[in-house]
A and B are shown apart, each in its own frame.
Chain A
Amino acid sequence: MDFANFLIQLLNSVQYGLLLFMLAAGLTLIFGIMGVVNLAHGSFYMLGAYLAYSLSGLFGSFTLAIIGGAILSVIFGLILERILFRYFYHRDHLDQVLLTFGLIYIFEESRSLLWGDDVHGVAIPALLNGSITLTENQSYPVYRLFMMGVCVLLAIGLYLLINKTRLGMKIRAGAFNRDMTESLGINIKLIHAVVFAIGVALATTAGMIASPISSVYPNMGSQVLIMCFVVVVIGGIGSVRGALIAALLVGLVDTFGKVLLPQVAGMLVYMLMAAVLLWKPEGLFKQ
């Protein structure tokens, strides 16, 4: 392939990888800090896409839709944590798996009742609708660059939050030693609620910004969920840094795989996972 093609595929890899990172970061954070595995994480992604659809119709503006959707998703995350998830931090993983599986059904049906089963599109805002010319006959969509930009910003924000703020310090302390943290007067319940809400918001925002490209359709959560799981397994559960590296790796393997080896493209990522497991059964960056 020529250089322009290669560049396009590389950019696509990074864009896909960064999107996966947003999902995987939320999942791995929630597991690392609260010990909860959430099969319904893909449903938040779907929620984001449907919110983008409805809210951009309502507000007439994609930007307002994203902001509104983000706020709604934080509230939703806080409520969900308060009424359900907080009671499952100490339950064993089997119970969590089944509970969140039940939630998938409930979320899918709720979506069906609220929005119906049709496929929808979300328009790319005019400002971002152009392309950047790479060569005389190759160009790259601005919107995908925008997506990458948002993901990078959020990734930086997450890094700063966890490593450079007092809230982040409390979060890390809570993960390390819950009882000690509580006895120091830090409100661990609030920390958990905040972390959960961040996880939900990341997943939902990923769905929102992806919606113009991926469309909005039923069951869109399942496909992305499994990729998310693969990323978390490869990266090491509980490690946000691992999730980033694994996500980019998966993005590269998947994108270039589809171009270079289309017959086995679907299997390549799993083969990558199998190879990693042989070498490091607990992921690249075990927590």
Chain B
Amino acid sequence: MSAPQSHLETLPRGIQIVLALGVIALAVFPFVGTDFYQQMVTRMMILAIFAMSLDLLQGVTGLVSLGHAAYFGVAGYTLAFLTPEGEAVSLWWTLPVAVLAAGAAALVIGFFVVRTKGIYFIMVTMAFAQMVFYLFFDNRVLGGSDGIYINFKPDAGLFDLENKKVFYYFTLFCLLAVYFFLRRLLWSPFGRALAGIRVNEHRMRAVGFGSFSYKLTAFTLAGALAGLAGYLWGAQTGFVNPELMGFHQSAHVIMMIILGGMGNFAGAIVGAFAFEFMLELFKDLPSIGGFNVGKHWQMWMGLFIVLVICFAPRGLLGLLQKLMHRKGAGNE
């Protein structure tokens, strides 16, 4: 079912340099950017972690999930339930618990979902994620449609997460940790097997790989990592609601890795930043002649998505590759 997307597993030197520069820019940003933009970049980094977690599932293993946001939301809600109204709670046990909760949800749902293939997989991941959405939406006990507030950022002891700069660097640290972990995993025996499953699952089984357990492990791990992002999101925004688990959020994160290019995790980061940037751009459009352009950001987002899929379905990376090919062909 998975089509040949532009999989650049080994990043060329040029792109590696650009990425390194990007990391430096991120490290330096809090000293040059305003508070507002610092918050925005923190958000983008959190979404980049979310996008990388999906890239493991979709870009590497080839499983297109329309319900990945469920695990993002579960972790955010876990933090919300664990944080009392009047005081902060410790980062050092709530973070692992939230990540485990997200992973456990992914394991349970994955057990049912991973046995399906192709379009079925897409539809059932969406269905189960919506189930989780309605579970929270319909139950006042779980916060209902209004959501839950997280009044205090988690207490890290050694450093103060209430300080926005500290939170920023903590998030950057998590981003880099996840990135290097996933790059390592990509070239491990496990990662190679996942790539094989993406390219030709039938042959993988024929040579003796039990693809079900590989896919389920990838699904669970991806869910757990999405949980890390969800925890950070809840901590940063101080608020969780069922929308975090909705299929809109799931579709957004798919768009992010499409935009940036799938399969190498760097593309996921780029795509997350680019997508969030576009979203902010649309939401902030001024009114033109009485027509509130920004209010109808969904329209512009919808058109943007349709145009990208019609004309640049392999994302920015694919466009770049196409341009390079044309140039190369012209030189011959």
Contact = CB atoms under 8 A, between A and B. Distances in A.
A226 interface: yes
Given A92-B2, A273-B124, A277-B115, A109 B306 contact: no
Interface in A101-118: 101-106, 108-110, 112-113
B214 interface: no
B302 A106 contact: yes
Contacts of B1: 92-93
Interface stretch (B49-57, B293-301, B317-325): B293-301
Given A266-B138, A274-B112, A237 B306 contact: no
A105 B302 contact: yes
B20 interface: no
A269 to B, nearest CB: 8
A184 B26 CA distance: 62
Interface in B245-293: 247, 251, 254-255, 258
B119 A102 contact: no
Interface stretch (B92-100, B127-135, B162-170, B203-211): B127-135
Contact of B66 (A97, A108, A109): A97
Contacts of B27: none
A270 B128 contact: yes
Contact of A93 (B122, B135, B258, B304): B122
B64 interface: yes
Interface residues of A, number: 39
Interface in B112-152: 112-113, 115-120, 122-124, 126-128, 130-131, 134-135, 138
A102 B296 CA distance: 14
A37 B119 contact: yes
B119 A237 contact: yes
B310 interface: yes
B299 A92 contact: no
Interface stretch (A139-147, A159-167, A227-235): A227-235
A93 B118 contact: yes
B303 interface: yes
A274 B131 CA distance: 11
Interface string A6-22: 00000000000000000
A97 B64 contact: yes
Interface string A269-287: 0100110011001110000
A282 B115 CA distance: 9
Q: How large is the interface on B (under 10, 10 to 19, 20 to 34, 35 or more residues)?
A: 35 or more
A37 B119 CA distance: 8
A237 B120 contact: yes
A110 B116 contact: no
B305 A101 contact: yes
Contact of A99 (B122, B138, B301, B309): B309
Interface string B1-18: 111000000000000000
A232 B123 CA distance: 9
B303 A110 contact: no
Contacts of A278: 112, 115
A226 B1 CA distance: 22
A267 B255 CA distance: 29
Nearest to A110: B299
Given A93-B64, A98-B309, A99-B310, A104 B126 contact: no
A40 to B, nearest CB: 10
Interface in B82-122: 112-113, 115-120, 122
Nearest to B254: A98
A226 B2 contact: no
A119 interface: no
A76 interface: no
Nearest to A271: B131
A94 interface: yes
Contact of A105 (B64, B122, B305): B305
B282 to A, nearest CB: 11
Interface string A249-275: 000000000000000001100100110
A99 B304 CA distance: 10
Contacts of B124: 233, 273, 277
A83 B112 CA distance: 38
Given A97-B122, A99-B309, A277-B116, A105 B301 contact: yes
Contacts of B227: none
B131 A281 contact: no
A238 B258 CA distance: 28
A283 to B, nearest CB: 8
Given A97-B66, A270-B131, A281 B301 contact: no
A8 to B, nearest CB: 23
Given A31-B119, A110-B299, A230-B127, 7 more contacts: A94-B122, A94-B254, A95-B3, A102-B302, A105-B298, A113-B299, A282-B120
18 contacts: A92-B1, A93-B64, A99-B309, A102-B304, A103-B306, A104-B302, A109-B296, A109-B298, A113-B299, A222-B247, A226-B127, A226-B247, A230-B127, A233-B123, A233-B124, A266-B138, A267-B131, A274-B128
The 3 closest A-B pairs by CB, nearest first: A105-B302, A102-B305, A109-B299
